[in-house]
Amino acid sequence: MKTIDDLQVAGQRVFVRADLNVPLDGTAITDDGRIRAVAPTIAKLVERGAKVIVASHLGRPKGAPDPAFSLAPAAARLGDILGQDVAFATDTVGESARSVVAGLADGQVAVLENLRFNAGETSKDDAERGAFADQLAALADLYVGDGFGAVHRKHASVFDLPQRLPHAAGDLIAAEVAVLKKLTEDVKRPYVVALGGAKVSDKLAVIDQLIEKADRILVGGGMAYTFLKAKGHEVGISLLQEDQVPACLEYLARAEKRGVEFVLPVDVLVSAEFPDLKTKAPANPGTVAADAIPADKEGLDIGPKTRELYAAKVADAGTVFWNGPMGVFEHPDYAGGTKAVAQALLDSPAFTVVGGGDSAAAVRLLGFDETAFGHISTGGGASLEYLEGKTLPGLAALED
């Protein structure tokens, strides 16, 4: 892959595909880790006299403008971090984008509105995606891919656009790939993978591959309930991917056959309601055994026995890769499982990699020193799919 150093950027319009998909509370950014992570690439381009156009998705709007997913707060925060004014286009390829880009002087930066306000960005139809990529390409002379968190998406700005412009990888992508590559080549064993989070269907597929690579797989968060169901337990109103139950059964059987330890929660915190993440009003969860979740309750965190069990399972690890919070950590009553696993990683002598926008945010929001971990990846799904050995569209497109 070419790097920024291989591009002549002075005076050129450089399109930087970043991942500014940060957690928001209204318009307030609750964790700006992903913005800070890409800022050095942007600063380097500024210093070299480029006209920098930054683009990203935020959340999953449905292909049309939706103010709740505006990138305006992220643009403002990027300006604070860079210490310079950052222009903001209120659309992505329309009148505002064209005039903001036309007004850029060398060394200036603009952020475009959310790429996913356009249906072409995420379309499965090559022609529709291509047409949107053509519109994006008209805005720029060069392309820098640095949105590591989105490289697993075959989206217009990630996959089609770099095929239309001279391109290179940004410094964040280069650094992420360097660390994750080590985990695929010479991993120190026992290799423990801890998985949680809410993007259940994305991550179940990953387990299929990890069974071939890991020595131990610990499952928590929203992921756990489909496995508990596969083991014949009722999961009440917990997050469940019913259609994946047969696949989970197959994974459990294959793990056993291969001697991979597959560890599921033995107890969980439950409640009849999802907690109020705004007011953080006390949720008063109950603790139940994982095989005794009441029909009207949902599991929202791993319980105290599971926390101890998972800590013991990482204590002698050589390498730990952790993706996805163990519970709804945004509420203090359900942050304990995620906290316990983060602490267990720090207490372990293992090389520890934390992957995922939400996992990384959780580590910081719960007060851990992020530099104490081996590596904090900005990619959740992206880092998992990289470890699976998949060809990632956003990396493949940067390769030639």
Ligand X SMILES: O=C(O)[C@H](O)COP(=O)(O)O
Q: Which residues are known to be catalytic?
A: 34, 199, 357, 381
Structure tokens at 154: 């075959």
Q: Does residue 300 interact with ligand ATP by CB under 6 A?
A: yes
327 contacts which partner out of ligand ATP, ligand X, none, CB within 5 to 8 A by kind? Answer: ligand ATP
Instruction: Dig out the tokens for 396 from the structure.
Output: 């493949």
Backbone angles phi, psi at 256, to 5 degrees: -60, -45
**Full DSSP string of 68-136:** GG-SHHHHHHHHHHHTS-EEE-SSSSSHHHHHHHHTPPTT-EEE---GGGSHHHH-S-HHHHHHHHHHH
- Candidates 153, 229, 307, 313: give the one binding ligand X (CB under 6 A): 153
Whose Cβ is closer to ligand ATP: residue 139's or residue 210's?
210
Among 83, 114, 88, residue whose Cα is nearest residue 101:
88
Integer CA distances (angstroms), 214 to 120, 187, 206, 297, in order: 37, 10, 12, 32
How many angstroms separate the CA atoms of 261 and 313, rounded? 10
Stretch binding ligand X (CB under 6 A), from 107-115, 148-156, 262-270, 310-318: 148-156
Q: Of 121 and 298, which has the nearer Cβ to ligand X?
A: 121
Contact call for residue 258 and ligand X (CB under 6 A): no
Using CB under 6 A, which of 325, 336, 393, 394 touches ligand ATP?
325
239 binds ligand ATP (CB under 6 A): yes
Choices 111-119, 210-218, 279-287, 321-329; region in contact with ligand ATP by CB under 6 A: 321-329
Q: Let me know: does 316 contact 190? Beta carbons within 8 Å.
A: yes
Residue 62 in the binding site for ligand X (CB under 6 A) = no
Residue number, 185 or 284, with CB nearest to ligand ATP: 284
Q: Is 366 in the site for ligand ATP (CB under 6 A)?
A: no
Q: How far is the CB of 324 from ligand ATP (least distance, A)?
A: 4
Query: In angstroms, what is the minimal distance from the CB of 357 to ligand X?
Result: 4
Q: Give the separation between CA 205 and CA 388, rounded to whole angstroms.
A: 9
Among 5, 60, 316, 391, binds ligand X (CB under 6 A): 60
Query: Which residue type occupies 372?
Result: A
Shortest reach from residue 242's CB to ligand X, in Å: 21
C-alpha angle 34/37/40, rounded to 5°?
A: 140
Cβ-based nearer residue to ligand X, 108 or 123? 123
Scanning 47-55, 145-153, 305-313, 366-374 for contacts with ligand X by CB under 6 A, the matching segment is: 145-153
Residues in CB range of 367: below 8 A, 6 or more apart: none
By CB under 6 A, residue 358 contacts ligand ATP: yes
Query: Which one of residues 324, 336, 393, 394 is an interface residue with ligand ATP (CB under 6 A)?
Result: 324
Find the shortest distance in angstroms from Cβ 219 to ligand ATP: 11
**CA 370, CA 54: separation in Å to the nearest integer?**
26
303 is a contact residue toward ligand ATP (CB under 6 A): no
For the CA atoms of 183, 42, 49, 12, what is the dihedral angle to 10 degrees?
80
Q: How far is the CB of 338 from ligand X (least distance, A)?
A: 17
Structure tokens that stand for 321 in this block: 């890769």
Of the candidate residues 33, 357, 393, 394, the single one contacting ligand X (CB under 6 A):
357
Upstream peptide bond of 190 is cis (omega within 30 degrees of 0)? yes
DSSP class of residue 187? Answer: P
Contacts to ligand X by CB under 6 A: 19, 21, 60, 149-150, 153, 357, 380-381
Contacts to ligand ATP by CB under 6 A: 149, 196-199, 221-222, 239, 299-300, 323-325, 327-328, 330, 356-359, 380-381
